[in-house]
Amino acid sequence: MYYFKKKVLFLQAMLPALAMLLFYVKDGFVVKQENVIITAGACLILVIVPLIAQKVLKNIDVYILSLVCFLCSISLIMMLRLRISLYHTQFQWIVVGMILMFCTIVFSEKILRFLDYPYILGVLSILIIGSVLLFGTEIGGNRNWIIMGPVQVQPSEFAKLLILGFLAAYLQENKNMLNLPNRHWGFLYLPPLRFLAPLVTIWSMALLMFVYQRDLGSALLFFGMAVMMTYAATSNKSYVFLAVVFFIISAFISYLAFGHVRVRVAIWLNPWADPMGQSYQIVQSLFALGYGGFFGTGFWQGSPDIIPAVYTDFIFSAIGEEFGFIGVFSVIMAYLLIFFRSVKIALLCQNEKYKLLSFGLAGTMLLQSFIILAGVTKLLPLTGITLPFISYGGSSMVASFIGIGLLLAISTKEKDRAC
């Protein structure tokens, strides 16, 4: 089994090298030495990092790390294909993310102590999300970026981790109270309002700020996180019902109040009404996925670069066009396997806060992937969130690696305790 894992690591690490080779065959005179060096470094890192982690941290879940490296290799070859000017930058963010992942594992004892202070985590998350109201810049219709010189930061990616910490800590500490059937309306069983108030306040403030910033994808993601973790902690279906009602009312009010919401819904309902205007992105995405078929057009044989923002929001469509059903199935299976391995970590946890946090991290990554995949395939209205570990973006890459670092740290702690 050990040698099998090494062979798999070697094969997935060779993907950037194969992509560079095809690039050279296609356009050898534009291949720069810098990109060749980056490709060699990427191949080396994608093999060495999981092996070193397995040697140094004996109880680490190397399968999760290997799957993450596979997604990173897909990210690199798509940057090489779609926007070679971003190839170097994306590689840098992957390296920074891996370094911070290991720092998270090493200092996990101190980091996880913050779970003892849920309200601090909640307030910090609101402050981080709200920072864009003062210092934010609108990019692509969403006011959710802070620009500091050459660096662009998306605070919501990091606030997401704090919200998960708050939910895990608060729900664990108040789980019994939240299950008290103090209020009974029909089939709804709810606890006293004072126990629900902190949860609803933090949740509502985060959602309202996201809607105000036009970041509908993050609003939907945070909503899903809250519902998912509340149900996981309490098993009370009343919360799910109320959340659905709250979501329907909020969506209707947002539709009436905000023009950009009406535009997104109109594009979703009938993209063919304006295929060369506001619906151009989603129409081209659907064409790309359909044109890819089962086997795809072949690497560098399609035309995914005609889709605006293809290297961020629509990178899945590019994968579908050039690698076909086989490519998108591989990516989806990677996310599902990461989710199942992460849920296994959660189920093995004896510490209830760690259990909820692990489940939240696992569910959030899967939910985020689903939201963006549903958007580019017109299953849901299009949102502006990223595909974890694949889409271009430093904030998303770094935050995703920190989340994986927390998962691996919890896994290692629980296995060490069991031994």
235 in the same domain as 133: yes
174 in the same domain as 156: yes
53 in the same domain as 24: yes
| The pLDDT of residue 289 is above 80 | yes
349 in the same domain as 266: yes
The residues, any chain, with a CB within 8 Å of residue 194's CB and separated by 6 or more, are none
Point out the domain boundary residue: 201, 227, 257: 257
17 in the same domain as 99: yes
Point out the domain boundary residue: 233, 257, 281: 257
Per-residue model confidence (pLDDT) at position 100 = 93
Per-residue model confidence (pLDDT) at position 337 = 94
Instruction: Give the Cα separation of 240 and 224 in Å (integer).
Output: 10
253 in the same domain as 341: no
Tokens standing for 259?
């023009």
| The pLDDT of residue 33 is above 90 | no
Q: Which domain holds residue 163?
A: 113-257
Per-residue model confidence (pLDDT) at position 318 = 93
98 in the same domain as 127: no
Provide mean pLDDT across the span 152-174: 87
How many structural domains does the chain have?
2
Per-residue model confidence (pLDDT) at position 73 = 92
Per-residue model confidence (pLDDT) at position 206 = 66
268 in the same domain as 251: no
| The pLDDT of residue 16 is above 70 | yes
- Binned at pLDDT 50, 70 and 90, residue 419 comes out as very low
379 in the same domain as 272: yes
Dump pLDDT digits (tens) for 119-137: 898 888 888 887 877 776 7
Dump pLDDT digits (tens) for 44-99: 888 888 888 877 777 788 889 889 999 999 999 999 888 888 899 999 999 999 99
The structure's pTM equals 0.90
Instruction: Give the Cα separation of 334 and 366 in Å (integer).
Output: 10
- Binned at pLDDT 50, 70 and 90, residue 398 comes out as very high
Instruction: Give the Cα separation of 191 and 206 in Å (integer).
Output: 22
414 in the same domain as 268: yes
368 in the same domain as 315: yes
Per-residue model confidence (pLDDT) at position 362 = 92
| The pLDDT of residue 141 is above 60 | no
Between 112 and 261, residue with greater pLDDT = 112
Dump pLDDT digits (tens) for 186-233: 556 666 666 677 777 766 776 676 666 667 777 788 888 888 888 888
183 in the same domain as 322: no
Instruction: Give the Cα separation of 134 and 127 in Å (integer).
Output: 11
Point out the domain boundary residue: 257, 289, 305: 257
- Binned at pLDDT 50, 70 and 90, residue 364 comes out as very high
- Binned at pLDDT 50, 70 and 90, residue 1 comes out as very low
